[in-house]
Chains A and B, each alone.
Chain A
Amino acid sequence: MWMSYIQPSVTVMTDDLLRMESIVKTFPGVIANDHVDLTVRRGEIHGLLGENGAGKSTLMKVLYGLYAPDEGTIRFDGEPLRLDRPQDAIDAGIGMVHQHFKLIPRLSVTENIVLGSREPAAPFRQENLGDGPLATLRSSGPVQAVASRFSLGLDRPKRRISDLADQYGFDIDVSAPVRELDVGQRQRVEILKALYRDVDLLILDEPTAVLTPVEAERLFETLERLVDDGLSVILITHKLKEVKSVTDRVTVLREGEDIGTVETATVDRSELARMMVGRDVLFEIDKPDTTVGEPVLEATGVSAIDDRGVDKLSSVDVRVDAGEIVGIAGVSGNGQKQLAETVAGVRDPTAGTIEISGQELADAPPEEFVAQGVSFVPEDRHEHGCAGDLSVMHNAVMKDFRDEQFGDSVLFDYGSVGDFASELVDDFDVRGVSDVTANCAKDLSGGNLQKLILARELARDPELLVANQPTRGIDVGAIEFVRERLLEQRNRGTGVLLFSEDLDELFDLSDRLLVIYEGEIVLRTTPEETTREQVSVEMNGGGDAQVAVADADPADAATRRAADGGRSEQ
């Protein structure tokens, strides 16, 4: 039915900045782009929507000169465009903000931005040469050649970058080293980098994957300012909410195929989801009432430090009962990682007690926690969740390998391990696995790896599940799946401690909700008793963050009132 929305691409030729027609790109065994059309108009924010592996990144790599298409044409600004390398795209006026920032932490903002397009130091520049013998020397060929390679003039770029930053309201010190900036600021540096090169088209690859909701809001404001100034923006995403809130039109890809381009205003979220996934997706999660049981986790006065020895958690109390989901909201870096790791037994607390089903385990090794029925879905799937170079089979039994079903005390029965792993892969619909013993964990996509990890952690029917950002960076189908499984596990009597930066997720799933800020729980509430605004304010430290929220929504006085209420509650 959405086919009817497709814009015939010939209608408004003059408005089109970019026309990619019938792009085909195949890899051995995969058609990543199967005759995909993409037309971007001047001054629009164009969404490129699709699940992981739908071909979004491939299409953008073709546009950025990283891949040569097998078929198809690209016209930019009316001219046919031949792209052999990213420099060709940059020269044509296309800029890209990659998901993983391409910045050098040691260098300053300005140095990062002028990388690759620097200019010589002031005395050697044409307009400063003046007259006299010295000028003749400075303008001579060899001197100019040396100066252009070995001298660096930062004065003028710095001025220009500051002006650009001011123009778009970026609060960035252009001489600060990038390592001192937070994630949101680094992203703004990437955007500045593109603007500095005078792009007409800016591509952002999953820009909000690393941002908090407040920062994401700021980014969208920036994007709107950019298109007001005549730029065009391509926003690659798999988040429907973002597509609905900022894009003008959206092109949907599914498994390499071009599903169509629609005006965003004419479709609703569920239609977009259906285009993207190919079936109906449930947004309303059915959360039956359950009766909670005995406490499975009682953490009292827990303090912890991070790997560099900095205090990250100060005297936190958390209780999780069997059969409930306790959600922890917070801006990344406020102690969630340390809290998750201490209650999962991976990190030793510096103070406090941790009782799992009534047993004191604060100083016990991780093995004891595993034995007591604690499951853990860590924040970083690759670093802590799996051994990438080992097979899916190895990873599927990472927690359960001690189980008697896999052989007696010494020998390990890889035959039954393989069967068990295949079963998990089928049960949890982990795709991309043809042979559990041959496929490595690192070759799975993010969503599928997360499914495998969740399968492994849930197969044990744990007493307590600690899940840190279980749906971050995975596609909508996998998110739906993970959320359903979390609820299912809660209904079966597991206590779940859920850390998330996605407030919708927390509000949909949690029975109780805690907000963490700078290593302390600053609000204890339930989704029914509170609002997203209040939680958002508390996540950002109460009073301090009102400014940011007020900026986003100046009229919302209720937010501030709610914030005051929240503060007096503790």
Chain B
Amino acid sequence: MLVDIEIDAREQTPSWIAYGTPLFAIAAALAVSVVALVAIGVNPIAAYVEMFLRPFGTVATISNVLVRATPLILVGLGVYLPMKAGLWNIGAEGQLLAGAIVGTWIAINVTLPQLLVIPVILLGSAIAGGLWAFIPAWLRAKWGISEIITTLLFTFIAADIQLYLVRGPMQGGSGGFPQTELLPAAAEFPAIPGTRAHVGLLVALLIVVLVYVSMNRTRFGFRVNFVGSNADAAEQAGMSRYRVYLLTLVAGGALAGLAGISEIAGNQSRLHASFAPGYGYTAVPIALLGRNGVFRMLLAALFFALLFVGGNRVTVAMEVPSAIIDIVQALVILFLITAEFFQRYRLSVSIGRRDDGRSIRGSEVTTDD
């Protein structure tokens, strides 16, 4: 018996596949994860209920997800925008740190009424994130040096600067912990009434709309799409690859910077040494899953926030090691990204179509003719 697998490109993706595949992929990932959960003696159904349903239980739990989602949306955009131009902003984490550092500094050292100081903080951290992306962007635009490497290396620099600052010049608060002092009340992002979610979420949603408009309704978006799809053809048509690369990567850095300060001023209230939560790296699969449209990217960011919040709940409530939750999360991401393959290709499996004799002969090595 012979199993024959054929892979064909789909001419059109039926809508039930387009919308159903992500759900099916998540279900499949959870099914596989059962092995890990059962192995440590946890009831998988209870764990999944805790992870995926309980976060929707009350306004408070939902707002937890939204708080988590806020920096993910912003930093996701910071990877998404350069991705549209064909660039990989792998170092969004570093730009996020730069924004967090500068934003925190402004918040602590600049005294202004709340209505004024928050815009200044936002602007400052956006500029910091943008500047942190500028050198990699310029190296890429001018000399073609891979932004994948440079943005990543710049992340290491940012991380070490941050550690130095919270242990040295910016260290504050009692007990000598590696952290800054608490942000003054005026610099804290006000909460959306009745929830823990803060104005950073509104800023993020506003920027999602702005990015949508600029990508889909402006000439700038047309250029970005064109350069991202075929930079040589775009140059031939007089579009400047240089400008598009520089602009999108710097804008991506600015958005990542905003993500950094929105997490500090909206959630953590001070910059810790261990602030770096890996949002910048999580942003890459978020942007990848959402690369076909900014609203999909928004959905992906919300879903990752749910994974994180739900995962925490399981760790705390059911005493499951966080490593197991990492496995579940990783499997979900893997399955989602693999599933995209099936949206574009059709797999047909036929069994026993050829008799054995033929197939063996086909693979034989001819020794002489």
Q: Which of B19-27, B220-228, B322-330 contacts A (4 or more CB under 8 A)?
A: B220-228
A83 to chain B, nearest CB (A): 11
The smallest beta-carbon distance between A329 and chain B, in angstroms, is 24
- Distance, CA A117 to CA B366, complexed state (A): 5
Complex Cα spacing A149 to B365, Å? 8
A346 to B238, CA, bound (A): 8
Q: How many residues of A contact B (CB 8 A)?
A: 47
**Please, what's the 1-or-0 string for B228-244, where 1 marks a CB less than 8 Å from any CB in chain A?**
01101111111110000
A412 near B236 with CB under 8 A, answer: no
- Check if B358 sits within 8 Å of A119, measured CB to CB: no
Return the CB mask of A121-150 against B: 1 if under 8 Å, else 0: 000011000000000000000000000110
B: contact size bracket: 20 to 34
A371's nearest neighbour on chain B, judged by CB, is: B238
B225 surroundings in chain A (CB, below 8 A): 387, 390, 394
CB pair B238 A389 closer than 8 Å: no
Is B369 at the interface (CB under 8 A from chain A)? yes
B319 at the interface (CB under 8 A from A): no
Contact call B229/A399, Cβ cutoff below 8 A: no
Interface 9-residue window, one of A103-111, A266-274, A361-369: A361-369
Q: Which of B218, B232, B366, B369 contacts A384 (CB 8 A)?
A: B232
Q: Is the CB of A346 within 8 A of B226?
A: no
Q: Is A28 an interface residue (CB 8 A)?
A: yes
List, in ascending order, chain A residues with CB within 8 A of B239's CB: 367
Give Cα distance in the complex from A198 to B354, angstroms.
Answer: 27
Contact across chains for A369 and B362 when beta carbons are under 8 A apart: no
Known contacts: A398-B233, A410-B219. The answer to whether A85 contacts B240 by CB under 8 A is no
Q: Say whether A370 faces chain B, with CB atoms less than 8 Å apart.
A: yes
On whether A366 and B354 interact (CB within 8 A), knowing A411-B217, A412-B217, A412-B222, the answer reads no
User: Interface SS of chain A: helix, strand, loop or mixed?
Assistant: loop
Q: When the two chains form their complex, are residues B226 and A390 in contact, meaning their CB atoms are under 8 A apart?
A: yes
A414 at the interface (CB under 8 A from B): yes
- Interface of chain B, main secondary structure: helix
Given A387-B229, A389-B229: A398 touches B367 (CB 8 Å cut-off): no
Which residues of the partner chain B approach A524 to less than 8 Å between Cβ atoms? none
In the assembled complex, how far is the CB of residue A162 from the closest CB belonging to chain B, in whole angstroms?
17
CA distance A167 to B353 in the complex (A): 43
Once the chains are docked, how many angstroms separate the CA of A378 from the CA of B236? Answer: 9
Contacts of B234 in A (CB 8 A): 387, 398
* B365 touching A148, Cβ below 8 Å: yes
- On whether A84 and B358 interact (CB within 8 A), knowing A370-B237, A412-B222, the answer reads yes
B354: A residues at CB distance < 8 A: 84
Query: Which parts of A317-375 form the interface with B (CB within 8 Å)?
Result: 344-346, 365-371
**Contact across chains for B240 and A367 when beta carbons are under 8 A apart:** yes
Confirm or deny: A197 has a beta carbon within 8 angstroms of a beta carbon on chain B: yes
Instruction: Point out the residue from B218, B220, B222 that lies within 8 Å of A394, measured CB to CB.
Output: B222
List the A residue with the shortest CB-CB distance to B232. A384
Shortest Cβ distance from residue B121 to the other chain A in the assembled complex, whole angstroms: 28
Taking a contact as CB atoms under 8 Å apart, the answer to whether B367 and A148 are in contact is: yes
- A126→B366 CA distance, assembly (Å): 14
Across the interface, name the chain B residue whose C-beta is closest to A376.
B236
Contact of B226 among A117, A384, A387 (CB under 8 A): A387
Q: Do A386 and B222 have beta carbons less than 8 Å apart?
A: no
Q: Which residues of A contact B236 (CB under 8 A)?
A: 344, 346, 366, 376, 378, 384-385
A468 CB to nearest B CB, Å = 11
Q: Which of A87, A118, A125, A402 contacts B362 (CB 8 A)?
A: A87
Residues of chain A contacted by B219 (CB below 8 angstroms):
401-402, 407, 410-412
Contact A346 B233 (CB under 8 A): no
- Let me know if B160 is at the binding interface, CB within 8 A: no
Chain B nearest CB from A393 CB (Å) reads: 10
Which residues on the B side are within 8 Å of A365 (C-beta)?
238, 240
Nearest residue in A to B225 (C-beta to C-beta)? A390
Interface check A383, CB cutoff 8 A = yes
Known contacts A390-B229, A394-B222, A399-B237, then 11 further A-B pairs from the complex at CB < 8 Å, ordered by chain A residue: A120-B367, A148-B365, A365-B238, A369-B238, A384-B236, A385-B236, A387-B225, A388-B229, A398-B237, A410-B220, A412-B217
A residues with CB within 8 A of B: 28-29, 84-85, 87-88, 117-120, 125-126, 148-149, 197-198, 344-346, 365-371, 376, 378, 383-390, 394, 397-399, 401-402, 407, 410-412, 414
Q: What are 14 A-B interface contacts by the 8 Å CB criterion?
A: A85-B362, A87-B362, A118-B365, A148-B365, A197-B369, A344-B236, A346-B236, A367-B238, A387-B226, A387-B229, A388-B229, A412-B221, A412-B222, A414-B216
